[in-house]
Amino acid sequence: MENGVAKPVIVAIDGPSGTGKSSTSKAVAAQLGLSYLDTGAQYRAITWWMVTNGIDTADPSAIAAAAAKPDILSGTEPTAPTITVDGVDVSGPIREQDVTSKVSAVSAVPEVRARITDLQRAIAASAVTGIVVEGRDIGTTVLPDADLKIFLTASPEARAARRSGELKGADLHTTREALIKRDAADSSRKTSPLAKADDAVEVDTTDLTLQQVIECVVTLVEEKRAGK
């Protein structure tokens, strides 16, 4: 607190796919009056642009050469987050299978990461009350000085069941294999891989309801704010 004004609180939430990062981050931000940033949506948006503009996503040098071209804008209101590329709403297309299958390759390119990381830091710096930022490398690379770092985990079976539910009963085995493959690619890339920061609090969500995870994270933020 400085001159009666609370310092913005920065919360980093990382973890593999389907551990509940987006659902938890949105709810925590809404409950605490903070902004919310889905960094996966930004990597999906730049991947969508590459695909739409005929860039070969298997060619890192072609991706690197185009990385500065798209204008990516994220709306950070937690109850209605938005994402546009060159003014086009891409919130639907970025969730399609074609983008999902190519996003790990595109997001592994250092020029892409540098561009998106700059955007993320600028958004976090301009959040008046604070922000919950979710992704894979937020606590380790993007915001290493975050006030609170959370690393969510869950068994592959629980994550696949959650995703299959979302995809209207998609085959559990295929969903599980796809999750594991994407996590392996995201964890093994050279530049800022998916990783738990040394000072992150790990929360295993396998046997927790979404509401329990939200309550746990809200409590951790409130404790941080109270200086505990």
18 among annotated binding-site residues: yes
21 among annotated binding-site residues: yes
- The SS3 of residue 112 is helix
How far is the first Cα of the chain from the last one, in angstroms, to the nearest whole number?
15
- CA 50-52-56 angle, 5° bins: 45
- The SS3 of residue 11 is strand
Let me know if 68 is exposed, middle or buried by CB neighbors in 10 A (0-12, 13-18, 19+): exposed
Q: Please tell me the count of residues contacting ligand ATP according to CB under 6 A.
A: 16
Choose one: 43-51, 120-128, 204-212, 217-225; the region binding ligand ATP (CB under 6 A).
204-212
CB of 54 to ligand ATP, least distance (A): 26
Which parts of this chain interact with ligand LCLUPRNS (CB under 6 A)? 17, 39-40, 43-44, 103-104, 107, 135-138, 182, 186
CB of 6 to ligand LCLUPRNS, least distance (A): 27
Site for ligand ATP in 141-180 (CB under 6 A): 162, 166
DSSP label at residue 7: P
Site for ligand ATP in 16-45 (CB under 6 A): 17-23, 40
Query: Would you say 20 or 139 has its CB closer to ligand ATP?
Result: 20
CB of 224 to ligand LCLUPRNS, least distance (A): 21
Rg (CA), the chain: 17
Question: Using CA atoms, how far apart are residues 137 and 43, in angstroms rounded to an integer?
Answer: 12
